[in-house]
Structure 1
Amino acid sequence: MSADYVVNGSVAVITLNNPPVNGLGLATRTAAVEGLRRAQADAAVTAIVIVGAGKAFSGGADIKEFNSPKALAEPSLHTLIRVVEESHKPTIAAIHSVCMGGGLELALGCNYRVALRGAQIALPEVKLGLLPGAGGTQRLPRLVGLEMAINMIVSGTPVLSENLAKTALFDDVFDEGAQSSADLLACALTFAGKVAAIRPLPKVRERKVDYPNHEAFLQFTRNTVKAMSGPFPAPLECVDTVAASVTRTFDDGLKFERERFFHLIQTPESKSLRHAFFAERLASKVPDVPADTPTRAIRQAAIIGAGTMGGGIAMNFVNAGIPVVLLETQQEALDKGIATIRKNYENTMKKGKLTQEKFDQRIGLIRGTLSYDDIAQADIVVEAVFEDMNVKETVFRQLDAVMKPGAILASNTSTLDVDQIAGFTSRPQDVVGTHFFSPANVMKLLEIVRGKATSKDVLATTLALSKKLKKTGVVSGVCDGFIGNRMIEQYSRQAGFLLEEGCLPEQVDAAVEKFGFAMGPFRMGDLAGNDIGWYIRKRRYLERPEIVYSKTADLLCEMGRFGQKTGAGWYDYKPGDRKAYANPAVNQMIVEHSANIGVERRTVSDQEIVERLVYSLVNEGARILDEGIAMRASDIDMVYLTGYGFPLFRGGPMFYADTVGLFNVLMAMEKYAKGRHGDAWAPAPLLVRLAAEGKGFNS
Structure 2
Amino acid sequence: MSHLHYEVADGIAHITFQNPPVNGLGHSLRLALVNALDEAEENPEVKAVVMTGSERAFSGGADITEFGTPRSGWQPTLRTVIEIMEAFPKPIIAAIDGVCLGGGLELALGAHYRVAASRARIGLPEVKLGLLPGGGGTQRLPRLVGLERGLSMIVTGEHYTATRLADTPLLDRVVDTPVVEAAAAFAKEIVAQGAPLKRVRDIKIEELDAQAFLQVSRRNLAASSKHFPAPKLCLEAVAACVELPFDEGLKRERELFNTLMTSPESLALRHIFAAERAATKVPGVTRETPRREIRQVGVIGAGTMGGGIAMNFLNVGIPVTILEAKQEALDRGLATIRRNYENTMKKGRLTQNQVEERMALLTPTMSYDDLAQADLIIEAVFEDIGVKEAVFTTLDAIAKPGAILASNTSTLDLNIIAGFTKRPQDVIGLHFFSPANVMKLLEIVRGDQTSPEVLATSLDLAKTIAKKPVVSGVCDGFIGNRMLASYRAAADELLLHGASPAEIDRALENFGFAMGPYRVGDLAGLDIGWAIRKRRQAENPDLDLSCVADRICEAGRFGQKTGAGWYDYSAGNRKPKEDPIVTKMIDDFRAEKGITPRKFTAREIVERCVFALANEGARILEEGIALRASDIDIVYLNGYGFPAHHGGPMHYAQQVGLFNVVRSIKRYARLSDSAAAFWQPAPLLVKHLDSGEPLK
Query: Structure 2 length normalisation: TM-score?
Result: 0.97
**Hey, what's the Cα distance between the residues in 2 that align with 1:278 and 1:663?**
25
Is the 8 Å Cα contact of residues 497 and 550 (structure 1) preserved in structure 2?
no
Task: Tell me how far 1:159 sits from its aligned partner.
Answer: 1.3
Match of 2:366 among 344, 364, 370: 370
Match of 2:227 among 213, 224, 231: 231
Is the 8 Å Cα contact of residues 663 and 694 (structure 1) preserved in structure 2?
no
| Aligned: 1:401 with 2:402 | no
Task: Tell me how far 1:549 sits from its aligned partner.
Answer: 4.3
Is the 8 Å Cα contact of residues 502 and 602 (structure 1) preserved in structure 2?
yes
* Aligned counterpart, 1:361: 357
Comparing 153-162 with 432-441, which one deviates more in the overlay?
153-162
Q: Secondary structure at the match of 2:490?
A: helix
Comparing 257-266 with 667-676, which one deviates more in the overlay?
667-676
* Aligned counterpart, 2:81: 80
Match of 1:571 among 567, 570, 593: 567
Match of 2:511 among 508, 515, 519: 515
Task: Tell me how far 1:693 sits from its aligned partner.
Answer: 1.6
Task: Tell me how far 1:73 sits from its aligned partner.
Answer: 2.3
| Aligned: 1:681 with 2:676 | no
**Hey, what's the Cα distance between the residues in 1 that align with 2:136 and 2:167?**
22
**Hey, what's the Cα distance between the residues in 2 that align with 1:547 and 1:655?**
34
Q: Which consecutive unaligned segments of at least 5 residues does structure 2 have?
A: none
Match of 2:259 among 259, 263, 266: 263
* Aligned counterpart, 1:49: 50
**Hey, what's the Cα distance between the residues in 2 that align with 1:628 and 1:329?**
38
1:72 partner letter: G
Is the 8 Å Cα contact of residues 54 and 98 (structure 2) preserved in structure 1?
no
* Aligned counterpart, 1:525: 521
| Aligned: 1:327 with 2:328 | no
**Hey, what's the Cα distance between the residues in 2 that align with 1:202 and 1:528?**
58
1:486 partner letter: R
**Hey, what's the Cα distance between the residues in 1 that align with 2:463 and 2:277?**
11
Task: Tell me how far 1:67 sits from its aligned partner.
Answer: 4.3
Task: Tell me how far 1:466 sits from its aligned partner.
Answer: 0.8
Task: Tell me how far 1:551 sits from its aligned partner.
Answer: 1.4
Is the 8 Å Cα contact of residues 54 and 97 (structure 2) preserved in structure 1?
no
**Hey, what's the Cα distance between the residues in 2 that align with 1:219 and 1:502?**
45
Deviations 1:339-381 (A, max 9, x none): 2112222222222222110110111111111111110100000
Structure 1 stretches of 4+ moved >6 Å? none
For the aligned residue pairs, the C-alpha RMSD in angstroms reads 1.4
Task: Tell me how far 1:543 sits from its aligned partner.
Answer: 2.7
Q: Identity rate of aligned residues, in percent?
A: 58
Is the 8 Å Cα contact of residues 55 and 98 (structure 2) preserved in structure 1?
no
* Aligned counterpart, 2:184: 189
Is the 8 Å Cα contact of residues 20 and 54 (structure 1) preserved in structure 2?
no
Task: Tell me how far 1:151 sits from its aligned partner.
Answer: 1.1
Is the 8 Å Cα contact of residues 55 and 97 (structure 2) preserved in structure 1?
no
* Aligned counterpart, 1:537: 533
| Aligned: 1:697 with 2:680 | no
**Hey, what's the Cα distance between the residues in 1 that align with 2:473 and 2:377?**
20
**Hey, what's the Cα distance between the residues in 2 that align with 1:592 and 1:356?**
54
Within 5 Å, which residues of 2 pair with 1:66-465?
Answer: 66-175=67-176, 178=177, 183-196=178-191, 198=194, 200-465=196-461
**Hey, what's the Cα distance between the residues in 2 that align with 1:548 and 1:413?**
25
Deviations 1:32-75 (A, max 9, x none): 11110100111111111111124121111124444443333222
* Aligned counterpart, 1:663: 659
Task: Tell me how far 1:287 sits from its aligned partner.
Answer: 2.1
Is the 8 Å Cα contact of residues 443 and 642 (structure 1) preserved in structure 2?
yes
Is the 8 Å Cα contact of residues 60 and 103 (structure 2) preserved in structure 1?
yes
Task: Tell me how far 1:320 sits from its aligned partner.
Answer: 1.6
Match of 2:622 among 617, 622, 626: 626
**Hey, what's the Cα distance between the residues in 1 that align with 2:326 and 2:159?**
47
Q: Secondary structure at the match of 1:580?
A: coil
1:83 partner letter: I
1:606 partner letter: A
Is the 8 Å Cα contact of residues 493 and 550 (structure 1) preserved in structure 2?
no
Is the 8 Å Cα contact of residues 10 and 47 (structure 1) preserved in structure 2?
yes
Task: Tell me how far 1:163 sits from its aligned partner.
Answer: 2.1
Task: Tell me how far 1:329 sits from its aligned partner.
Answer: 1.3
Is the 8 Å Cα contact of residues 320 and 361 (structure 2) preserved in structure 1?
yes
Is the 8 Å Cα contact of residues 527 and 564 (structure 1) preserved in structure 2?
yes
| Aligned: 1:479 with 2:484 | no
**Hey, what's the Cα distance between the residues in 2 that align with 1:138 and 1:440?**
41
Q: Secondary structure at the match of 1:574?
A: coil
Is the 8 Å Cα contact of residues 666 and 688 (structure 1) preserved in structure 2?
yes
Q: Secondary structure at the match of 1:519?
A: coil
Cα distance 1:11–1:373, how it changes in 2: closer, same or farther (>3 A)? same
* Aligned counterpart, 2:551: 555
Q: Secondary structure at the match of 1:465?
A: helix
Task: Tell me how far 1:391 sits from its aligned partner.
Answer: 0.8
**Hey, what's the Cα distance between the residues in 2 that align with 1:606 and 1:506?**
11
How many residue pairs match? The answer is: 692
Task: Tell me how far 1:144 sits from its aligned partner.
Answer: 1.6
**Hey, what's the Cα distance between the residues in 2 that align with 1:25 and 1:304?**
49
Deviations 1:299-348 (A, max 9, x none): 00001111111111111111121111111111221111112112222222
Is the 8 Å Cα contact of residues 560 and 569 (structure 2) preserved in structure 1?
yes
Task: Tell me how far 1:247 sits from its aligned partner.
Answer: 1.0
Q: Secondary structure at the match of 1:581?
A: coil
